[in-house]
Structure 1
Amino acid sequence: MPLHLIALAAAAFGIGTSEFVIMGLLPNVAADLHISIDIAGLLITGYAMGVVIGAPIMAIVTARLPRKATLIGLASTFVLGNLLCALAPGYGLLMAARVFTAFCHGAFFGIGAVVAADLVPRHQRSSAIALMFTGLTLANVLGVPLGTALGQAAGWRSTFWVVSGIGMAAVAALAAWIPGRIPMQPGNILREFRVLKDVRVLWPLAASVLASAALFCVLTYIAPLLREVTGVSERGITGVLLLFGVALTVGSTLGGKLGDRSLETSLRRVFAGLLAVFAVLPGASHALAPMLTVTFVWGVLGFAVVPLLQTLIVDQAADAPNLASTLNQGAFNLGNACGAGLGSVALGHGLPLTGLPWLSAAMTAAVLLLASWGTRRHGRRGATLPTPSSALTPSRSDA
């Protein structure tokens, strides 16, 4: 793996750990702050909404800044935000710190994905994006289980202290290994918002929202589901999260390979597989062996879709890749917020934990129909366009 992709993956690892570890620590946070599980779950919604709001703002603010300096600045914001989480004395300030941390998320992954794609040949773009997102999946393999175990043993705040240290190491890697001169698209970021009028860009953004909402409607409450329905112990939950993280890593790599071969067909097949997973999850959750099997398949398919949709949006928005890629991160996290929020509302109104997968199945069916319509009706713009000038003959370079 090239060093610049290692640096991007390292930062993605820290950001991903910070975002997802809260799911394994929800019971601990709720007990410590004297709040209910459904209220604690809103910390995930708040983070996601911070990404949604921050993505377009940071896209505008950083549009004409050097890419390397921008990535370092965003990663540094992440470090500060996690320090504030560790120090937060109550729920309100913890929520504010989570939202602050989230502001760097969308822009970092959006800009990072474009940088990763532009520094490799066109036929390797999906794989390069997937390699960057490997850091995010490794966060689920190592960061989330270890962070959960640490939080359970030494208090949830200790996890955020360690995550802050990971962020500092990532900043150092970005400073050392990201090229100083990175090609950039010239132009005005406000004019680039015209890309939102293009249906070929809008439908992948909508698909990202629905796919992420389906994932997080269940994943937000995976710890109580495992504990109360499957009968997994607190230590066992860490093991299941580790298994799920391995599945996400496999899925990210698989999605990159599939995207390089057949992007549209792969999208439809992955969504069809996810629909089947959510349909069998309620029954499988009552016994450990089937729950582990379904969880692994769910993780593989659930994260295979990420590099597929990210590559699609970069290709479809060839005239505004930085903006569109960043907005797609906002779309993913809007889905996170909607999924976690929907789950919170449903549980608050008496829906059992085993009912959440059916909500996810309905959303997955909708995104499957959308993807089938979009890929067949509008096609893939990047398949017929030449490589963007940002990748070959840049008009302006970072200093």
Structure 2
Amino acid sequence: MDTHTVSAARDQRQSSGLLSILTLTLCAFSVTTAEFVIAGILPQVAAGLAVSIPAAGHLVTAYAIGMIVGGPLVTLLTVSAHRKPLMVTLLLVFVAGNVFAAMAPSYVALLAARLLSGSVVGTFFALAVVVAASLAAPGKQASAIAKVAFGFNLAMILGAPLGTLIGQQFGWRSTFITIAVLASIAAALLVRLVPVHGIPTTGSVVGELRVLKNRDLQLALATTAVGNAGVLMFFIYLVPLLTNVSGFVPDSVPALLLLYGVGATLGNLVGGWLSDRALIPSMIGLLLSLAIALALFWLIGAIQPAAPLMIFVIGALAFSVIPGMQTKVLIAAQEAPTLGIALNASGFQIAAALAALAGGEIIDGSLGLGALPLVGAAVTVAGVILALILLKRSRS
């Protein structure tokens, strides 16, 4: 075989690998849009199903519970399954959940549809990361994972605002239909472009479960849950905060969510760079900065010109801590990375579930909607304390 033929074959493999990874990026975009978009259409869902805003917020809780329980459980039950057929199956279940959501005749039916969709997402997230790394060229695994992670950020920048806009213009059911169509396209591309061979399965259930005894992993997962709960409380109820506290008209909400997403993307890049250089210290500093930013929104969020700047800053800080949290979990769970990532996704969703429930109680209680950013700041400080314990353990 001559040099030209070898070079052409190598280029073809690299091109195929890139297309496979970009397909995983689209998959990540689809499933993450479904998670975040509900915050933008809460008022429409509440009005359409004749429930309160706090009750509509429980739709976030249902999705989160699906991920919390489904992520580790599905990962363990499918521990020996071939990765590609499993990913396609999970994505099709996700499509079905969103179709059911679009057709839901009642609030309870929509809750069930969200629970179904969320139950497969945690495992899919974990598989997307593992598969992307296995498809990458030697020494390019981190770049491949970053491309998949970009799908998560793109969902925040484009998916959530566009889904909100679709919901406002054509009704909230149209948002779920759009997500189902997008995920169906992603599933078709997954079948066509992601190779069958070369994608590893994991080990035994016993081997995976052994990692649960790791104290560093337990603490890292707790830091993920608590460290994110405060800002998730802010984000889940961001639309009513913007309209009722900051005084923005509903038509401006998609643009403000886009601003949050742009900040999130930049924060993710900066957070990854900082985490490579000082993993836990950067996590502590970023979480503390996030707590301060949330407290500042409580102070000046009612000043309309200041609110967009604070939204951008909070979005940037919220996502800047995620690379460090993921890295710490992967280090602690290196013997069972798929389960570790699934558990971390569950930890994040535990935060979302508790944030939605607590936020609804605060809105209905004496503190009211305007107190959410301050309460979120206090919860984030608790995350700082857990990160400090992680730092102490790493130095002992």
Is this a same-fold pair by TM over 0.5?
yes
Q: Where do residues 99-138 of structure 1 align in structure 2 (5 Å cutoff)?
A: 99-120=115-136, 127-138=143-154
34-43 or 270-279, which moves further after superposition? Answer: 270-279
Aligned to 1:204: 220
CA-CA distance at 1:367 after TM superposition: 1.0
**8 Å CA contact retained: 1:212, 1:339:** no
Output the TM-score relative to the length of structure 1.
Answer: 0.90
Query: Which of 318, 325, 335 is matched with 2:341 structurally?
Result: 325
Change over 3 Å in CA distance of 1:187–1:361 after alignment to 2? same
Aligned to 1:242: 258
Letter in 1 for 2:88: I
206-215 or 30-39, which moves further after superposition? Answer: 206-215
Aligned to 2:360: 344
Q: Secondary structure at the match of 2:41?
A: helix
Aligned to 1:386: none
Provide the aligned C-alpha RMSD in A: 2.0
Q: Distance in 1 between matches of 2:231 and 2:142?
A: 21
**8 Å CA contact retained: 2:81, 2:201:** no
Structure 2 stretches lacking a partner, 5+ long: 1-16
For the pair shown, which has the larger CA radius of gyration, 1 or 2?
2
Aligned to 1:15: 31
Change over 3 Å in CA distance of 1:164–1:156 after alignment to 2? same
Query: Which of 338, 348, 367 is matched with 2:383 structurally?
Result: 367
Q: Distance in 1 between matches of 2:341 and 2:25?
A: 17
Q: Distance in 1 between matches of 2:97 and 2:395?
A: 40
Change over 3 Å in CA distance of 1:186–1:126 after alignment to 2? closer
256-265 or 36-45, which moves further after superposition? Answer: 256-265
Aligned to 1:184: 200
Query: Which of 281, 286, 298 is matched with 1:265 structurally?
Result: 281
Output the TM-score relative to the length of structure 2.
Answer: 0.91
Matched, 1:334 2:350: yes
CA-CA distance at 1:379 after TM superposition: 5.8
**8 Å CA contact retained: 1:214, 1:363:** yes
317-326 or 245-254, which moves further after superposition? Answer: 245-254
Aligned to 2:369: 353
Aligned to 2:66: 50
**8 Å CA contact retained: 2:82, 2:201:** no
Letter in 1 for 2:259: L
Letter in 2 for 1:368: V
Q: Distance in 2 between matches of 1:318 and 1:121?
A: 20
Partner deviation per Cα, 1:89-143 (whole Å, 9 max, x = no partner): 1101000000000011110112222333454579765554333121121112111
Letter in 1 for 2:345: Q
CA-CA distance at 1:338 after TM superposition: 0.7
**8 Å CA contact retained: 1:126, 1:256:** no
**8 Å CA contact retained: 1:212, 1:333:** no
Q: Distance in 1 between matches of 2:195 and 2:286?
A: 35
CA-CA distance at 1:180 after TM superposition: 2.4
Aligned positions, number: 380
**8 Å CA contact retained: 1:10, 1:173:** no
Q: Secondary structure at the match of 2:305?
A: helix
**8 Å CA contact retained: 1:117, 1:129:** yes
Change over 3 Å in CA distance of 1:87–1:240 after alignment to 2? same
Letter in 1 for 2:234: V
Q: Where do residues 379-390 of structure 1 align in structure 2 (5 Å cutoff)?
A: none
**8 Å CA contact retained: 1:209, 1:332:** yes
Aligned to 2:175: 159
Aligned to 1:40: 56
Q: Secondary structure at the match of 1:286?
A: coil
CA-CA distance at 1:185 after TM superposition: 6.1
Matched, 1:31 2:47: yes
CA-CA distance at 1:311 after TM superposition: 2.1
Letter in 2 for 1:137: N
**8 Å CA contact retained: 1:123, 1:260:** no
Change over 3 Å in CA distance of 1:121–1:197 after alignment to 2? farther
Q: Distance in 2 between matches of 1:81 and 1:140?
A: 21
Matched, 1:149 2:165: yes
Q: Distance in 1 between matches of 2:134 and 2:294?
A: 36
Q: Distance in 1 between matches of 2:100 and 2:228?
A: 27
211-220 or 86-95, which moves further after superposition? Answer: 211-220
